[in-house]
Amino acid sequence: MRVDEYRNKCVSADEAVKVVRSGDWVEFCWAASMASLLEEALARRTEELHDVNIRGAVLLKPLAILDSDPMGEHFTWNSWHLSGRERKLVQNGQAYYIPIKYSEVPRWIRENLQTDVVAIQVAPMDEHGYFSFGVTISHYAAAIEKARVVIVEVNEDMPSVHGGYDHMVHISKVDYIVEGGHRGLPELPSAPATEIDKKIAAYVLPEIADGACIQLGIGGMPNALGQMIAESNLKNLGIHTEMLVDGFVDMVGAGKVNGSCKQLDRGRITFSFAAGTQKLYNFMKNNPVLAAYPVDYTNHPCNASRNDQLISINSCLEIDLTGQVCSESAGTNMMSGSGGQLDFVEAAYNSKGGKSFICLPSTYKDKPGQVQSRIKGLMTLGSVITDTRTTVHFVVTEYGKVNLKGLSTWQRAEALISIAHPDFREKLIAEARKLKIWRRKA
Ligand SMILES: CC(=O)SCCNC(=O)CCNC(=O)[C@H](O)C(C)(C)COP(=O)(O)OP(=O)(O)OC[C@H]1O[C@@H](n2cnc3c(N)ncnc32)[C@H](O)[C@@H]1OP(=O)(O)O
Ligand SMILES: CCCC(=O)O
């Protein structure tokens, strides 16, 4: 019976995308799960379609629709979170960013967003008629509830993952199935940890106790910390995160993780999407220790904070002397996105014994190659505030760590200058004076 249903719904990618109409919004991909056959088929319809908006994120492959429509007259790419590839597209005016608080995306889709077609990549159907969403759970179930048409592209290499709820779709809710065969998964290798990353991680490590529950963000530094935890004496750790990365596999492999102290999903590794190397994807396949959930479950601060000692480790691009954090743009140039950073900054502080860490190298090199401080008197004009100064807890550079909670403006300036690169401290003191946040000595 179900075999018949499967056969009847199987079509070619070109046949499936015929359902897309001018004016539609299509929910398409997140990171490592992109339905490339469908995307290429959509590009072949370029001349017939107008004003089709596509939503996706963390694009890891080139887009055929951009080659077929270089002037953006037919398709508009809207990204929930920019990969390096999308950063260039946005800066060239070929794509747009959707500002998000990631925990809210499923609700936005259910309550606010036009969603006509869902076209996603999934794992092969199981004997009960379910397709696992594989490496991306995120907001897919909410989009499916809303859509006029649901198309799944089956990738034989997509791991089926164990989960809590809304981590798979039943065939009865699918309109078209496109069999893609073995298509592999794009890899997002972790940036190798630099000496600065290791120094920063060394300040964070002593703040983590046995039984803590870990969230790691995106970027080189969180990854360095994952490796250090794997090599530490810590034990009985738990994992409750938005993004599952290779660093967690190392922690599990080293015997550091058993989830025995978690209040939520005890004994399980809670996550909403994964991106990494084949090592991570192999680890995920049918692994009963995993608990995949939609992002409003993993990221909602009221949920995540139910775990005691939640430790959240994220990176940023710049911070001003009062503690406002920008993690997503360089001035008006969008670099990445807010993602779930604020969700976890809030969740960790609300968890009993929890701590959030914003980690940043003290400097960066600008385009002409000049070294600049990431700690600034004033935020660069146009930079987006990802975490307001009231939410920020610990800030860490290679020169130390400070806890900003409850500090007066002059104390914040003093604390942040103490962890700025020494070459910039005098200049920052002068700026703090000008801003009236440098204490007059009694
Ligand atoms: C995923 C979860 O589990 S939940 C929450 C996590 N989500 C988030 O934290 C979202 C926001 N954060 C992010 O997107 C990332 O962590 C980032 C962008 C802040 C850091 O990522 P990294 O890869 O470590 O970036 P990095 O510090 O190397 O900087 C990226 C680029 O910006 C440049 N840059 C850094 N700081 C600045 C600055 N203040 N001004 C201008 N440019 C800057 C760097 O030079 C680098 O340029 P390049 O790509 O040309 O070399
Ligand atoms: C893709 C990463 C989303 C986030 O940073 O939260």
Whole-complex ipTM? 0.94
- Alpha-carbon span 147 to 162, nearest angstrom: 25
Q: Could you tell which of 103, 138, 216, 218 is best to mutate to test the pocket of ligand 2, judged by most ligand atoms within 8 Å of the CB?
A: 218
Supply the CATH number for residue 388's domain: 3.40.1080.20
37 marked ligand binding residue = no
Helix (H/G/I), strand (E/B), else coil: 277:
coil
pLDDT over 70, % of the chain: 100
Predicted confidence (pLDDT) per residue in 157-170, tens digit: 999 999 999 999 99
Q: Which band of pLDDT confidence, cut at 50, 70 and 90, is reported for residue 351?
A: very high
Where is the domain boundary, 179, 208, 233? Answer: 179
Q: Is 5 a catalytic residue?
A: no
Percent of the chain that is helix, strand, coil (3-state, to 5): 30, 25, 45
> Which domain covers residue 320, as residue numbers?
195-434
pLDDT of residue 442: 58
Stretch 68-80: mean pLDDT: 95
DSSP-derived secondary structure for 22-58? TT-EEE-EETTEE-HHHHHHHHTTGGG--SEEEEE-S
CA of 340 to the centre of ligand 2 (A): 6
Which of 264, 29, 275 shows the shortest CA–CA distance to 153?
A: 29
In a domain, 71, yes or no: yes
Average pLDDT score over the chain: 96
The count of domains in the chain is 2
Q: Is 410 part of any domain?
A: yes
Residues 201, 129: one domain? no
Q: Which DSSP symbol is given to 224?
A: H
Residues 407 and 346 in one domain: yes
Sign of CA dihedral 194, 197, 201, 202: positive
* Paired sense of beta strands 325-326 and 355-359, if any: unpaired
Shared domain check, 407 and 280: yes
Same-domain status, 313 and 366: yes
pLDDT of residue 192: 83
